[in-house]
């Protein structure tokens, strides 16, 4: 074997070794990325990450079994709520929703987006005690609570076609969640609540700078081409949620806005500061919207009422304006001192 042949063989071996090494490195990196080893944010203790694997929640991959047909209808209801149960659906008996909002307008990405009120695991958390009713309630009752408040409508029959479809879809979303239903991304991001009242003028400035491109300067949103739903929902006015909805609480709205708005924002890359989210939430919630019937019946035990609930009665003597716009820390301190209750919203 001459020197030239030896050199070629040596070069070939080196190239093969480099190629194999690169393949191994690529494989290892892929696995690390897949299992989110490089994530910057640690997973909170006691919670899990279901992983952003779209196929796990892709309705189109399901066959047309009887069960799947029902949950596909539930998904359709979720995305196009007013088309089937809104005021213009063509059947007054099915007009359970009083506005043209869709569930998907708040529970983004069909209820799967982290920290937008994600519904993954929701059915595993019911039956559940809720202070608003002061009793243990079912998932059906929770859905009807949304119908009466966020959708400004009326309750659906608990055994009706629509309710069963909703529950089937939510159960499917929850199938990978742990038994207790606690998942990473449920609820909304936490914010540092400013120790001051909402600055409405600053809130208006934030709204003008970051919100009107989608929701319009009048807050009426943008209707979809189908004429039933909204691409961008109204934030106030007759077609928006009523004052009994959770989103009318400034703290709740600020947390949602921080992790999701402007549209496309994610919890790990927010655009607005805590103070901007706080002020714009207050500005939005000072606009006119429908009034829920009998709001005084909420929270039979008034000590359980969130401090930022915008309507009375209260178990304290703080003025309505402070419950609506803050500062909230003095109210929270009062409940801690008088009732040993820790309030966060």
Question: What are the sequence ranges of the domains in the chain?
Answer: 63-173, 200-296+305-339
pLDDT of res. 197: 99
Q: Do domains 63-173 and 200-296+305-339 have the same CATH topology?
A: yes
- The pLDDT of residue 54 is 62
12 pLDDT above the threshold of 70: no
What tokens appear for 35 in the block?
Answer: 């299992």
Question: Who contacts 238 (Cβ-Cβ below 8 Å, separation ≥6)?
Answer: 99, 290
Average per-residue pLDDT for the chain:
89
pLDDT at 55: 72
Mean pLDDT along residues 37-41: 37
181-225 residue pLDDT tens? 999 999 999 999 999 999 999 999 999 999 999 999 999 999 999
CATH superfamily of 200-296+305-339: Cytochrome c-like domain (1.10.760.10)
What would the pLDDT profile of 239-286 be if each residue is shown by its tens digit? Answer: 999 999 999 999 999 999 999 999 999 999 999 999 999 999 999 999
Counting residues of the chain whose pLDDT is more than 70, the rounded percentage is: 84
Quote the CA–CA distance of 170 and 74 in Å, as a whole number.
Answer: 8
Q: What is the CATH number of domain 63-173?
A: 1.10.760.10
Label residue 265 exposed, middle or buried (CB < 10 Å: 0-12, 13-18, 19+). middle
pLDDT digits (tens, 9 = 90+) for 318-334: 999 999 999 999 999 99
Tens-digit pLDDT profile for residues 94-104: 999 999 999 99
In SS3 terms, the chain reads as CCHHHHHHHHHHHHHHHHHHHHHHHHHHHHHHHHCCCCCCCCCCCCCCCCCCCHHHHCHHHCCCCHHHHHHHHHHHHHHCHHHHHCCCCCCHHHCCCCCCCCHHHCCHHHHCCCCCCCCCCHHHHCCEEECCCCEEECHHHHHHHHHHCCCCCCCCCCCCHHHHHHHHHHHHHCCCCCCCCCCCCCCCCCCCCCCCCCCHHHHHHHHHHHCHHHHCCCCCCEECCCCCCEEECCCCCCCCCCCCCHHHCHHHHHHHHHHHCCCCCCCCCCCCCHHHHHHHHHHHHCCCCCCCCCHHHCCCCHHHCCCCCCCCCCCCCCCHHHHHHCCCHHHHHHHHHHHCCCCCC
- For residue 140, the model assigns a pLDDT of 99
pLDDT above 90 as % of the chain: 83
pTM across the whole model: 0.84
**Over the stretch 54-89, which tens digit does the pLDDT of each residue have?**
679 999 999 999 999 999 999 999 999 999 999 999
């Amino acid at each position: 074997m001459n020197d030239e042949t030896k050199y070629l063989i040596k070069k070939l071996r080196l190239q093969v070794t480099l190629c194999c090494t690169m393949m191994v490195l690529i494989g290892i990196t892929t696995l690390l990325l897949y299992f989110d080893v490089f994530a910057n944010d640690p997973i909170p203790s006691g919670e899990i990450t279901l992983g952003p694997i779209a196929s796990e929640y892709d309705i189109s991959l399901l066959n047309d079994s009887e069960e799947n047909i029902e949950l596909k209808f539930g998904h359709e209801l979720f995305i196009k709520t007013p088309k089937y149960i809104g005021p213009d659906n063509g059947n007054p008996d099915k007009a359970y929703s009083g506005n043209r909002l869709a569930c998907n307008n708040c529970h983004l990405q069909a209820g799967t987006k982290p920290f937008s009120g994600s519904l993954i695991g929701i059915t595993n958390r019911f039956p559940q005690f809720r202070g608003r009713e002061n009793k243990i309630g079912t998932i059906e009752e929770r859905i009807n609570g949304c119908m009466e408040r966020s959708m400004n409508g009326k309750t659906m029959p608990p055994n009706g076609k629509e309710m069963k479809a909703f529950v089937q879809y939510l159960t499917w979303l929850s199938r990978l969640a742990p038994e207790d239903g606690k998942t990473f991304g449920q609820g909304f991001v936490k914010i540092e609540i400013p120790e001051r009242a909402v600055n409405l003028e600053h809130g208006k400035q934030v709204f003008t700078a970051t919100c009107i491109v989608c929701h319009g300067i009048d807050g009426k949103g943008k209707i979809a081409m189908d004429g039933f739903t909204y691409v961008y929902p109204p934030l106030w006015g007759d077609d928006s949620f009523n004052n009994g909805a959770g989103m009318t609480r400034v703290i709740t709205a600020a947390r949602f806005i921080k992790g999701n708005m402007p549209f496309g924002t994610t919890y790990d890359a927010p655009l607005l500061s805590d103070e901007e989210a706080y002020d714009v939430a207050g500005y939005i919630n000072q606009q006119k919207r429908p009034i829920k019937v009998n709001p005084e019946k909420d929270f039979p035990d008034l000590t359980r009422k969130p401090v930022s609930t915008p309507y009375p009665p209260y178990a304290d003597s703080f003025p309505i304006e402070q419950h609506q716009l803050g500062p909230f820390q003095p109210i929270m301190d009062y409940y801690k001192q008088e009732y040993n209750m820790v309030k966060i919203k």
